[in-house]
Amino acid sequence: MTIRVLLADDQALLRATFRILIDSDPDMTVVAEATDGQEAIDLTRAHEPDVVLMDIRMPGTDGLTATSGICSRPELAATRVLILTTFENDQNVAKALRAGASGFLGKDVGPDVLLTGIRTVAAGESLLSPTATRALITRFLSTPDNDTPLAPPERLATLTEREREVMSMAAHGRSNTEIADHLVVSPLTVRSHIQRAMTKLHARDRAQLVVIAYQSGLVRPRPQNDA
């Protein structure tokens, strides 16, 4: 099945470069290009792509607002947003996660990494490696956000003790294999626990599950000097 991608970036040269790269892959195609966030929302509604490759910094409606506008629409539940950013410099990454973004890539990544990232997100997985998760949580999710209320702890009441345990370990950046080794179960069992937790908490993907874990207080960010 062909992965349908929408590009949202105000830089024409970058869009052209991404289009050439994506269209060169036999399993992918670019269905539309947007130059700002509002156009990204409108074109996503029109084309219903599998993945939106979203720049954060754009004139007019920015990528954060667009991400929220896309991820909050039930009819676009199957569309995943993959953010293009620089981890170290963009303090808006936390808001993008809260808005429903499924993953992040730096604009300086190589072609293979970009294509793999698009496939990962299109498959319903989060593009949050254990290393990236630890860095993002420590640097960004601990940043207060007065505009977004915390997820109430009672949201976790529907989870089993094992599901909360697995969710907590995932939020600390452990991979399924690492969690499985620690709990002495199979990676498939860990994946099942995560999927059930996502279903019960209405999380779009693993990234949003991590956000809920921190917002609800299930886990707490470590101080930055411990990272």
CB 67 within 8 A of CB 100: yes
Domain final position from 127, 162, 193: 127
* DSSP for residue 72: T
Whether residue 133 is contained in a domain is answered as no
What was the pLDDT predicted at 92? 65
Closest CA to 211 of 111, 107, 120, 128: 128
Q: Does the residue 148 lie in any domain?
A: no
Low-confidence ranges of the chain (pLDDT < 50): 88, 224-227
- The answer to whether residue 138 sits within a structural domain is no
User: What local confidence, expressed as pLDDT, does residue 181 receive?
Assistant: 95
Q: Is residue 136 part of a domain?
A: no
Residues 101 and 166 in one domain: no
* CATH code of the domain in which 116 resides: 3.40.50.2300
Q: What is the pLDDT at residue 227?
A: 40
Query: Tokens 């640097």 appear where?
Result: 139
Answer yes or no: do 119 and 190 share one domain: no
Check whether residue 19 and residue 100 sit in a common domain: yes
Burial grade of 140 (CB within 10 A; 0-12, 13-18, 19 or more): buried
CA distance 16 to 197: 39
Are residues 186 and 104 located together in one domain of the fold? no
Q: What is the 3-state secondary structure (H, E, C) of 159-226?
A: CCHHHHHHHHHHHCCCCHHHHHHHHCCCHHHHHHHHHHHHHHHCCCCHHHHHHHHHHCCCCCCCCHHH
State the CATH number of the domain containing residue 163: 1.10.10.10
Q: Looking at the structure, do residues 103 and 194 belong to the same domain, yes or no?
A: no
H helix intervals, 48-110: 63-71, 93-99
Encoded amino acid at 14, one letter: L
The answer to the question of residue 86 being in a domain is yes
140 lies in a domain?
A: no
| 142 within a domain of the structure (yes/no) | no
**Within a domain: 7:** yes
Q: Are residues 116 and 157 in the same domain?
A: no
36 and 121 together in one domain: yes
46 with 113, same domain: the answer is yes
Domain boundary among 127, 142, 177: 127
The total number of structural domains in the chain stands at 2
Amino acid 129: pLDDT: 53
Contact between 163 and 193 under an 8 Å Cβ cutoff? The reply is yes
* Beta-carbon contacts of residue 202 (< 8 Å; ≥ 6 apart): none
The parent domain of residue 196 ranges over: 153-226
Residues 176, 65, single domain; the answer is no
Q: Record the pTM.
A: 0.70
